[in-house]
Structure 1
Amino acid sequence: MRGCLVVAALVVAAPAVAGQGAVDLPAGRLGDAVLALGRQSGTSIVVGDPGLWGRRVPAVRGRMSAREALDQLADSANADVVAAGSVGWRLVPRVARRAPVRVAPPKVVRVAAPVVAGADIVVTGSKRDVALRDFAGQVALLDGVDLALGGAGGTDAILARLASVSSTHLGAGRNKLFIRGIADSSFTGPTQTTVGQYFGDLRLSYNAPDPDLRLYDIASVEVLEGPQGTLYGAGSLGGIIRTVPNAPEMGAVSASIAGGLSATWHGDPGADLGATLNLPLGERVALRVVGYGVSEGGYIDNPLLARRDVNRTRIGGGRAALRLDAGNGWSVDLGGIGQWTKGDDSQYADRDAPSLGRGALTRSSAIVQGFSADYVMGQLVVSGAIGGVMVKSSTGIVGQALTERYDATMPGGDARVFAQRNATMLIANETRAWRPMRHGFGWVVGGSFTHNRTRLSRSLGPIDSPAPVTGVTNSIDEATLYGEGSVQLVRGLTATAGARVTRASLAGTGEDIAPARLEAVAVARARVTADRIETSVLPTASLIAAVLPKVSLYGRYQQGFRPGGLAIESDFVRRFENDRVATLESGVRYGLAGADTAYLSASVSHTVWKDIQADFIDATGLPSTANIGDGRIWTFSAAGGWKPMAGLTLDAGFTYNDSRVTEPSAALFVALARMSQVPNIARYAGRLGADYRRDMGKDLELRVYGWARYVGRSRLGVGPVLGEEQGDYLDTALTARVGRPSLGVTLGVTNLTDSVGNRFALGTPFQLGNGQITPQRPRTIRIGLDAAF
């Protein structure tokens, strides 16, 4: 696996070898072939253009010089080979030789410590282009091509490759993500997320669910375990997930298309189709457009309404990016994203319901529980360099709306519906300047402003005429300054320190509240909804030592926080306070994925969590939010890989979480005394993966990738009502692709054992305790075709 290779270089101390030698380069992306050539020949090769890095090339094998092999790769990728000093070369898009197109110079990170033959993988999520070998923390780097193998999924494709990331499973566009055992609740309410999600440099959401964008035409996904409060601020308690799209390419017309048909055991068929077009609009402007549509067949029957396969989900969306080369190393990117998700019905089933004689999952509900999730974003990014200092300013505006219906029918009563709409608007800007690590010193300073407004409106009653019930509006204006710097104390030993200062202005109000009959009640409401200001200081410090050429040891301290807000309890609006985490972590890293035959990273961390924000069920049966007390979390995580033979890579990951609410809130003490584990986090989770590639001749390659992921037991929430067990299931998949870089056929199978499992023990909060489960999608076979032009 390899990710965030937006900037990459291969640097070795040995001179380029001019003589002939054995060359064995795999078919696939140009960047991977270049890395392999550098290792085999001892040359220094730089690929500074992210679009060029991902171009497909055929296999190159035989006895030849490094330059001859590089020329073959360059011809296949429509690139030129340019001398880079006396010992290496640089690949540039071929159009650069024919037209005076000015492109931003590649940001190649040079490290002062001794570097062995291998790739300097850059952690762009560090906001200052830190080489992975110098980054103190746990990082997962996922390649966009790998994530799209067998069909571009959404967040589920990330979950499948990492043991440390988990999620609720209400449905696409409705879920909450968790990293490092830091989870707050099961519902989509007023609390801010514990995981920050970013698309490029812009935040996808603030206190809204995961939009679950489809991963079409993605360069990489980077996951940084948290907290990441100093660089990313509020809502990064567990960490961040940063998705990097492929950027528009100057001077190159290209297109790709991928689609497939699927069949689900005991359910309906599905289909998916996505296409990408890159179009130059002159010498200095390029446009890249992506569009897609997905239909996932249903597999749950509702015998009460005499309906089969009720839970089909449809997803449509796309994005466009326009890049302007402004000259002198400056560029301007203007883009937009849109995705619309519609679920015909909810994803849950009855645990012990009898089947209909065909192995189907069933749920008897009195109403249709459909949902919709809409997401739009517009963004403007200006980046460049002033001297040796890099500068980037990112501005975005986001609109997100989630509408849900729940079956609120009481036993023996008439059908009732509970409807909820969560509408969010986010406006954000971040501007930063940084100096990558050079001559033993690097730094970043920045500032940001965020405005977020969320309105949660609700109704309850008969299906045709539900009446409004109490809702709430929360708004926040957040201004921040931050900075971080690294110094090489001695050769191989680097210290980093930084801090973030955030001033947040919070406001809120209740919606559809019954009028106060007493003056004292009106005064109390005014106090709860009064504006207030919170100031937070989030420090960080770390130390990393290169004790051996491939081994690094590190330790770090980091804090994170979430602001408070207003929540609904019964017919009242009340306040919940901010919460805060402090984490002490130590870890070890051996080798680098993709650059070494074996690699391993492992860490152990201890987190103290103050005033935990979490959800519970109030007296009326509706979800509410409160500070449930203080807690602590011990986490151990490890990930590694091994290449036992040419063409075969094995990888594995494991995480252990021991979480406790150590000092429960006095108001919730009785409930928490029965169940003190932090919700939604399994104590154990692990995965195994295998990736096999074989050259079949005539530029054909066979690739087979399979994985198995186990998720241990966890609980839905806090208290006896939300104490349902979930988890303890095994998920599996196997995908094979045969073809050339420009054309291939895939065959994939998910849930090989056709197991049911229980990913999430919630369908409707009005029937908790009645054996609700959210099963895995039954065994599904997909056949697909992909082509690039």
Structure 2
Amino acid sequence: MKINKLSYAIVTALGTSSFAMAQQATDETETGRVIETIQVTATKRTESIQAIPVTVSALSGEALENLGVDNFQDYVEFLPNVVFQGTGPGQNEIYIRGAATSQTNIAVSTVQALQPSVAFYLDEQPVSMQGRNLDIYAADVARVEVLPGPQGTLFGASSQSGTVRMITNKPNFSGFAGGVDLGSSFTKDGEMSNSVEAFLNFTPADDLAVRVTVYNDNQGGWIDNIRNDPEQGGFGGSAVVINRISGGVLTDPDNIEVIAPNNDNLVEEDANDASYAGFRLGVAYEVNDDWDLLVQHTQQQLDTEGVFAYDPNLEGTQSVNRFQADKNSDVFGLTTWTLSGRLDELDIVYTGGLLNRDIASTVDYTGYTNGGLFAAYYVCNHYTAATPADVKCLDPSKFYKEETDTSRVTHELRLNTDASRDWRITAGIFYDSQELSTVGKFKIPNTELFPDLARKTVGQEGINSDGGPFESEVGFVNDVTHGIDQIAVFGQAEYDLSDTLTVSLGARWYEIEDSYKGSTTTVDVTRRLRAFGTLDPAELIEVGEDPAAIDAAIASGQLDVSLLDDDGALTVDDVIYKASVDWKASSDMLFFATYSEGFRPPVTNRVGGGLATNQQGAFDGFRIPVYSTTDTLTNYEFGMKADFFDGIFRVNATAFFSEITDLQTSRFDPTNISFLVFTDNVGDAEIQGIDGDITWLATDNLILDASFSLLNTELTRVNSELDGIAPPVGSELPYSASFSGNIRARYFYEMDNGLTGFVNGSLVYTGDRLASMTMDAYVLEDTTRLVYGTGSGLSIENEASVFEGVGYRDTNGELFAGGRYIQDSYVLANVAFGITNDEWKAEIYIDNLFDERAILHIDNQQFTPKVVSNRPRTIGFRLSYDFF
């Protein structure tokens, strides 16, 4: 049967993580069918995905459309070696191949968070950000490329375990074209959602092309903020919890007057709404026969209300108790430019970008009452009460408000030699300057206990930078500016030893300067870092440190300040390498072996150098690191790319072994160390795994795709002071399933009147994953039962029973068992049915067919677990129309 061009377009890449069906079979085989090979830019050249000795997964634009993919969470589902963890739209991190760790609470991620281990690019521009990955709506996209494993030689910092690139459709000179996509859907026990996308491409002159893309997507909520009722498992504001955490200060908690928080004015069904609205304008200009200029601007606003995690202690999987109006506004504008051309045999590219991003958030912080050394102090008056009978615990509700402005400027100049030679070179220079300014305001104490709080005004340098008084309820403020400047020189050389054997070597030298200025209510960060940079005794005394004790800590190796300059700025430089050899066993089979290195930049701490609160056992003499140093990932992999059976069956697979040295993670242990989050290098880890993709053109009308990831992760060294807190040596890294995979099928058939029908379906499986890098699940369960009167019901991995040494202790000094929550395995199924012709397509779909409530992430940052879940069963339709 002859298959027309349209039919091939429909069958294009149901979602194979590497491949798409050809729109038209150009190389005739015995079957008349062929798998198209996508062109990618993973090596900073445009090359066939099957011809490069690099593991690459790619979802084409057609595949994204067929899968109904619009945002990160959607397309990560179909990439089993990629993990997406976080608390909602615009508040997530990406992890690849199991190289995951615990990120900082979203409420302070802009102040004290790790740099990502996976770099995210929009076209040529890096747009990664700690704790809040830029959540770009996937409208008018050519493809999404995923490069697992270290990509640091070509893509730099934060490409430690991989790189994700969203490649947009560019203006083209073929003439006028346009398209519109409309969608609407209904979510079980939730609100209606609707979306519209459109693009227009036109050529006002022979040497000028313009493309405009616009979109608006309103995603209805499904999580209810229900009335707080302590008698029905709601938040009780329990004095019992406060008594335990405060070391038994409250002698008779059962008879203490306790005021539970009231949320009557915030009760709402389907409270977690999200909306994406934006546009992209691209202008391409042909300067002459050899040079082209592309300028693009992308503007987007992401607004959310409510939260995207439910309280597992409440009935069902769609209920929360929130006491402040959670909302988040995330606006960015990105202007990019690319000048490309040719000088003799050199291809030259200069590209740059300017990113401005503004975030404004309000977060319910009431859960902070549930834990921490100061919980009783914040809400109970036991320290001022005349008698025990006068002790009472007041309304514990709290909030966090943040305003963050980010700017990032990048420049890259690179050249490529002629690709037809038996030796090829890619080389360049890269410059990156980031500045993040944030003001975070916390309501922590109850204002009835702190009547002077309303009169609080500007008290120290860096606080309340707008010059006005604080809001009357604000009790703690972060006001900091974080700058990261980077310069790098990189290169990669390839040489063909023969027609079938090629070797390559790459390297990157980088220098990064990290400056951290400002202050908190309790810490002058600028002055503190300057004191540790100079080690001037007078300055150390001024920030409350004993110079002799600091000298002793440095001499013993417990404290390192060698990377700081006299102004407190941190500078690191190094060279990383990559080497590979590939063998073209035949025209359809490629084998390659690769050694590669990746890194994450260091992170400066607000409270660096301070003594731990607990000076017993392993914490004797322990000081919070002034900064966490660069952690590195060394990777060894062996891969295969092959087509079988005359080009209708394709297998790409890679086996790898990775070592992480000086693993960075966020730490928050207010009982033992500090009430402020900080980052630390906590140990080493190893990762072994296999990932792969399979495509099979089963018949003229049916295409099957599958992809999988097998992982074995292990902590191989843990700092001694974390015994009983962090998982022990031999434990798994967080968020890493031992097996994940998916299978997709697409069937199409010819109809009357030039119409083509199609049916597609997908199954996605994700295995069990452990949450966080801290064995605090039993402690959190204890707190949950005391606060809500019931446990969370979540699964726990008992990784260590009672430890000898430092750990979590109850009021009798006894240690709790150590364990982490399990994010249980799940299966998600989607189906769709539609018809199309050369101009339009109509489709009915069901996402989450079996209404699975998957545990995507367990958030334990407020001392009782909250579960981020997927959208319930959703039924909708999509209609698209293209005009040429």
Q: What interval of TM-score do these two structures reach, taking the shorter chain for normalisation?
A: 0.7 to 0.9
Q: Check if 1:377 corresponds to 2:334.
A: yes
Q: Secondary structure at the match of 1:215?
A: coil
How far 1:739 moved relative to its partner?
A: 1.4
Compared CA separation, residues 330 and 592, structure 1 to 2 (3 A): farther
Contact 2:214 2:278 in 1 (8 A): yes
> What does the per-residue CA deviation read over 1:679-703, in whole Å, with 9 as the maximum and x for residues that have no partner?
2222221111112222224331122
Residue 575 of structure 1 aligns with which residue?
627
Residue 662 of structure 2 aligns with which residue?
611
Residue 861 of structure 2 aligns with which residue?
765
Give 1:111-510 correspondences, 5 Å limit. 121-149=38-66, 151-187=68-104, 188=106, 189=109, 190-207=113-130, 209-250=132-173, 252-304=175-227, 305=263, 306-355=267-316, 361-409=318-366, 410=369, 413-461=395-443, 465-470=473-478, 472-510=480-518
| Alignment equivalent of 2:751, drawn from 681, 696, 708 | 696
Q: Secondary structure at the match of 2:767?
A: strand
How far 1:231 moved relative to its partner?
A: 0.5
How far 1:208 moved relative to its partner?
A: 5.6
Whole-angstrom distance in 2 between the partners of 1:622 and 1:265: 41
Alignment coverage as a number of residue pairs: 689
Contact 1:671 1:720 in 2 (8 A): yes
Whole-angstrom distance in 2 between the partners of 1:669 and 1:752: 44
Contact 1:172 1:211 in 2 (8 A): no
TM-score by length of 1: 0.82
Whole-angstrom distance in 2 between the partners of 1:323 and 1:644: 41
Q: Which letter maps to 1:372?
A: S
Compared CA separation, residues 374 and 521, structure 1 to 2 (3 A): farther
Q: Secondary structure at the match of 1:449?
A: strand
Q: Secondary structure at the match of 2:191?
A: coil
Q: Which shifted more, 469-478 or 523-532?
A: 523-532
Residue 691 of structure 2 aligns with which residue?
637
| Alignment equivalent of 2:7, drawn from 8, 27, 30 | 27
| Alignment equivalent of 1:747, drawn from 844, 850, 863 | 844
How far 1:592 moved relative to its partner?
A: 8.8
| Alignment equivalent of 1:553, drawn from 581, 591, 599 | 591
Q: Which stretches in structure 1 are left out of the alignment for 5+ residues?
A: 1-20, 43-60, 62-115
| Alignment equivalent of 1:653, drawn from 697, 707, 712 | 707
Contact 2:718 2:728 in 1 (8 A): no
Compared CA separation, residues 24 and 369, structure 1 to 2 (3 A): closer
How far 1:718 moved relative to its partner?
A: 1.2
Q: Secondary structure at the match of 1:149?
A: helix
Q: Check if 1:535 corresponds to 2:573.
A: yes
Contact 1:205 1:426 in 2 (8 A): no
Whole-angstrom distance in 2 between the partners of 1:132 and 1:151: 24
Q: Check if 1:687 corresponds to 2:742.
A: yes
Compared CA separation, residues 22 and 259, structure 1 to 2 (3 A): closer
Q: Which letter maps to 1:398?
A: L
Whole-angstrom distance in 2 between the partners of 1:37 and 1:711: 35
Q: Which letter maps to 1:635?
A: G
Q: Secondary structure at the match of 1:377?
A: strand
Give 1:28-67 correspondences, 5 Å limit. 29=9, 36-40=24-28
Q: Secondary structure at the match of 1:158?
A: helix
Cα RMSD (Å): 2.9
Contact 2:197 2:213 in 1 (8 A): yes
Whole-angstrom distance in 1 between the partners of 2:771 and 2:655: 25
Whole-angstrom distance in 1 between the partners of 2:58 and 2:197: 24
> What does the per-residue CA deviation read over 1:732-751, in whole Å, with 9 as the maximum and x for residues that have no partner?
21122211131111111111
How far 1:570 moved relative to its partner?
A: 10
Q: Secondary structure at the match of 1:754?
A: coil
> What does the per-residue CA deviation read over 1:385-416, in whole Å, with 9 as the maximum and x for residues that have no partner?
12232111111011223444433222564211
> What does the per-residue CA deviation read over 1:472-516, in whole Å, with 9 as the maximum and x for residues that have no partner?
432121111111111111221111111111112221124224367
Whole-angstrom distance in 1 between the partners of 2:308 and 2:521: 32
How far 1:784 moved relative to its partner?
A: 1.6
Of Structure 1 and Structure 2, the greater strand share is in 1
State which structure, 1 or 2, has the greater radius of gyration over its C-alpha atoms: 2
How far 1:349 moved relative to its partner?
A: 0.4
How far 1:554 moved relative to its partner?
A: 1.0
Residue 781 of structure 1 aligns with which residue?
875
> What does the per-residue CA deviation read over 1:204-263, in whole Å, with 9 as the maximum and x for residues that have no partner?
235462222111111111111120011011100121111211111225112111111110
Residue 230 of structure 2 aligns with which residue?
none
Compared CA separation, residues 627 and 390, structure 1 to 2 (3 A): same
How far 1:548 moved relative to its partner?
A: 3.1
Whole-angstrom distance in 1 between the partners of 2:774 and 2:335: 41
Q: Which letter maps to 1:507?
A: S
> What does the per-residue CA deviation read over 1:641-668, in whole Å, with 9 as the maximum and x for residues that have no partner?
1111112111111112222221112343
Whole-angstrom distance in 2 between the partners of 1:688 and 1:339: 33
Compared CA separation, residues 507 and 758, structure 1 to 2 (3 A): same
Compared CA separation, residues 696 and 420, structure 1 to 2 (3 A): same
Contact 1:274 1:292 in 2 (8 A): yes
Compared CA separation, residues 41 and 584, structure 1 to 2 (3 A): closer
How far 1:186 moved relative to its partner?
A: 3.4
Q: Which shifted more, 404-413 or 651-660?
A: 404-413
Whole-angstrom distance in 2 between the partners of 1:414 and 1:118: 61
How far 1:456 moved relative to its partner?
A: 4.3
> What does the per-residue CA deviation read over 1:70-89, in whole Å, with 9 as the maximum and x for residues that have no partner?
xxxxxxxxxxxxxxxxxxxx
Residue 66 of structure 1 aligns with which residue?
none
Whole-angstrom distance in 1 between the partners of 2:728 and 2:480: 30
Q: Secondary structure at the match of 1:146?
A: helix
Whole-angstrom distance in 1 between the partners of 2:336 and 2:5: 39
Compared CA separation, residues 512 and 699, structure 1 to 2 (3 A): same
Contact 2:103 2:114 in 1 (8 A): no
Contact 1:612 1:627 in 2 (8 A): yes
Whole-angstrom distance in 2 between the partners of 1:510 and 1:270: 42
Compared CA separation, residues 715 and 120, structure 1 to 2 (3 A): closer
How far 1:302 moved relative to its partner?
A: 1.4
Q: Secondary structure at the match of 2:869?
A: coil
Contact 2:22 2:34 in 1 (8 A): no
Contact 1:185 1:680 in 2 (8 A): no
Q: Which shifted more, 282-291 or 529-538?
A: 529-538
TM-score by length of 2: 0.73
Whole-angstrom distance in 2 between the partners of 1:425 and 1:379: 13
Whole-angstrom distance in 2 between the partners of 1:23 and 1:702: 13
Q: Check if 1:730 corresponds to 2:827.
A: yes
Whole-angstrom distance in 2 between the partners of 1:433 and 1:467: 54
How far 1:436 moved relative to its partner?
A: 4.9
Q: Which shifted more, 249-258 or 618-627?
A: 618-627
Contact 2:757 2:834 in 1 (8 A): yes
Q: Secondary structure at the match of 2:28?
A: helix
Whole-angstrom distance in 2 between the partners of 1:592 and 1:147: 26
Contact 1:682 1:713 in 2 (8 A): yes
- Over the matched positions of the two proteins, sequence identity in percent amounts to 21
Whole-angstrom distance in 2 between the partners of 1:251 and 1:36: 19
How far 1:708 moved relative to its partner?
A: 1.3
Q: Secondary structure at the match of 1:432?
A: strand
Q: Secondary structure at the match of 1:637?
A: strand
Residue 108 of structure 1 aligns with which residue?
none
Residue 589 of structure 1 aligns with which residue?
641
Contact 1:319 1:338 in 2 (8 A): yes
